[in-house]
Amino acid sequence: MSGGALRVAVLCGGTSAERDVSIVSGAQVVGALRRLGHEVRVVDTAHGLLDDEAERRLLDTKVAVAPPETGAMARVPSTAGGLAATFPRDCDVVFLALHGGTGEDGTLQALLDLAGLPYTGTGHLGSGVAMDKDLSKRLMRAAGVPTPDWAMHPADEAQIAHLGWPLVVKPNRQGSTIGLSVVREAAGLRPAIERVLALDTEVMLERFVPGRELTVGVLDGHALAVGEIVLPADGVFDYEDKYQGVVREMFPADLPPEVAEQARSLALRAHAALKLGDYSRADFRLDAQGRLWCLELNTLPGMTATSLMPQSAAAMGMAFPALCERLCRLALRRCGSGGQDVGSRVAG
């Protein structure tokens, strides 16, 4: 079936705080792949394989202004462990449209590896490394990729003085800036830490780098176009900004050629240092002195047609449906499958 129509299971939803974002990504991926003639089924890790009516209801979901509360997500069931019952028996490839939690931290990737199912993105090792911001920053720094100074909570007064104010406080293992605060004075530090501890057991304190927010997609070993997120007045690109369309995004960014090339080079270097797979998105700050600082890498970036990764590809001439199909083909190539019936390996 190589080069022909594929049977794709789009995996979305899940039980992380980014569930809504995942569903919106999944809806657009489903539509794009179906327009190309592929056979697509939808699997929600919270509910399993969906029938047509359940699919329609799920994919009508919109991203709320704020992420769901932790208590609400704890009540969402999970069937991710039951792969044989969850996936269509005859799928060729699983398209991961999950964000955050066990969908992005390598847990589900490991289950899919055990089941012998090709899937898009990065394997379980790289996924886990990239989700852990402390570990990924250590690896980036070792590879010569500049990243802002940081300390893990609890930090002593000397460490906090070194980082300075304002200070970024964020979960060590979350995406979409969920739980992130920019603390401008000591009195706000404890409440910010407590907000993070409601989401994660580890809290990162990071030096705030004022400047321009840049992003670079990486696809199949090549860096894509550099984009810029025009930041709001407070200099923070938060959850509402990301998903409610209240900021302007420019692809390609208006940058000197040498700065754009350096961003692309650093994105590739960081991608390799974290042992990432077929694609990723690197986020940077460009400070007033013209220095680039890598904030983090995302192994499953948002996949709506207007998300940053698809915009990075579109600026290089790759339309959204073509990007979705390319990711499926890369998964099959990485797993050594030309698209034959691999789903039978989980049928029993």
The pLDDT value recorded for residue 68 is 47
* Active site (annotated) includes residue 317: no
Among candidate residues 173, 207, 241, the one where a domain is terminated: 207
CATH number of 216's domain: 3.30.470.20
Whether residue 306 lies inside any domain: the answer is no
Whether residue 313 lies inside any domain: the answer is no
CATH number of 107's domain: 3.40.50.20
How many domains are contained in the chain? 3
pLDDT higher at 102 or 249: 249
> Among the options 44, 119, 136, 243, which is catalytic?
243
Dump strand ranges (E) for 34-80.
39-44, 48-49
Residue 209, pLDDT above cutoff 50 = yes
Alpha-carbon distance 300 to 281, whole Å? 8
For residue 203, the surrounding DSSP H or E stretch is: strand 203-207
Q: What is the pTM of this model?
A: 0.85
* Active site (annotated) includes residue 243: yes
The pLDDT value recorded for residue 72 is 45
Give yes or no: residues 242 and 287 share one domain: yes
> Among the options 217, 302, 339, 343, which is catalytic?
302
In the chain, the largest separation of any two C-alpha atoms, in whole Å, equals 61
Give yes or no: residues 27 and 81 share one domain: yes
Give yes or no: residues 167 and 237 share one domain: no
> Among the options 283, 325, 337, 343, which is catalytic?
283
The pLDDT value recorded for residue 150 is 98
pLDDT tens for 6-57 read 999 999 887 777 788 888 889 999 999 999 999 999 998 777 888 888 788 7
For residue 125, the surrounding DSSP H or E stretch is: helix 124-131
pLDDT higher at 51 or 193: 193
Whole-angstrom CA distances from 282 to 16, 85, 148, 264 are: 21, 35, 14, 9
> Among the options 298, 307, 312, 337, which is catalytic?
298
The pLDDT value recorded for residue 293 is 98
* Active site (annotated) includes residue 176: yes
316 touches 168 (CB < 8 A): no
> Among the options 16, 25, 172, 176, which is catalytic?
176
Give yes or no: residues 11 and 91 share one domain: yes
Range of the domain at 107: 7-121+320-346
Whether residue 311 lies inside any domain: the answer is no
* Active site (annotated) includes residue 298: yes
Whether residue 305 lies inside any domain: the answer is no
Give yes or no: residues 77 and 156 share one domain: no
Whether residue 310 lies inside any domain: the answer is no
Report the pLDDT averaged over residues 82-105.
Answer: 78
Give yes or no: residues 180 and 231 share one domain: no
pLDDT higher at 73 or 123: 123
Give yes or no: residues 113 and 179 share one domain: no
Whether residue 2 lies inside any domain: the answer is no
Give SS3 for 99.
coil
The pLDDT value recorded for residue 50 is 83
Whether residue 220 lies inside any domain: the answer is yes
278 touches 219 (CB < 8 A): yes
* Active site (annotated) includes residue 69: no
Q: Which among 301, 241, 327 is positioned nearest to 99, based on CA atoms?
A: 301
Q: How many CB atoms lie under 10 A from the CB of residue 322? A: 14
For 223, left (φ over 0), alpha (ψ -120 to 50), or beta? Answer: beta
The pLDDT value recorded for residue 266 is 98
* Active site (annotated) includes residue 119: no
The pLDDT value recorded for residue 66 is 45
Give yes or no: residues 21 and 88 share one domain: yes
Give yes or no: residues 198 and 72 share one domain: no
Give yes or no: residues 138 and 259 share one domain: yes
Give yes or no: residues 139 and 287 share one domain: yes
Using a 10 angstrom Cβ sphere, with 0-12 exposed, 13-18 middle and 19 or more buried, the burial of residue 165 is: middle
For 299, left (φ over 0), alpha (ψ -120 to 50), or beta? Answer: alpha
Among candidate residues 207, 235, 255, the one where a domain is terminated: 207
Among candidate residues 164, 187, 207, the one where a domain is terminated: 207
The pLDDT value recorded for residue 256 is 97
Q: What percent of the chain has pLDDT over 70?
A: 82
Alpha-carbon distance 249 to 240, whole Å? 14
> Among the options 55, 213, 238, 296, which is catalytic?
296
Whole-angstrom CA distances from 299 to 124, 167, 321 are: 11, 25, 19
Whether residue 276 lies inside any domain: the answer is yes
pLDDT tens for 218-230 read 999 999 999 999 9
The pLDDT value recorded for residue 342 is 36
Residue 92, pLDDT above cutoff 90 = yes
Give SS3 for 215.
strand
> Among the options 212, 281, 285, 329, which is catalytic?
281
Q: Point out the least confidently predicted range of 62-71, 247-256, 285-294.
A: 62-71
* Active site (annotated) includes residue 302: yes
Summary mean pLDDT of the chain: 85
Give yes or no: residues 99 and 136 share one domain: no
CATH number of 175's domain: 3.30.1490.20
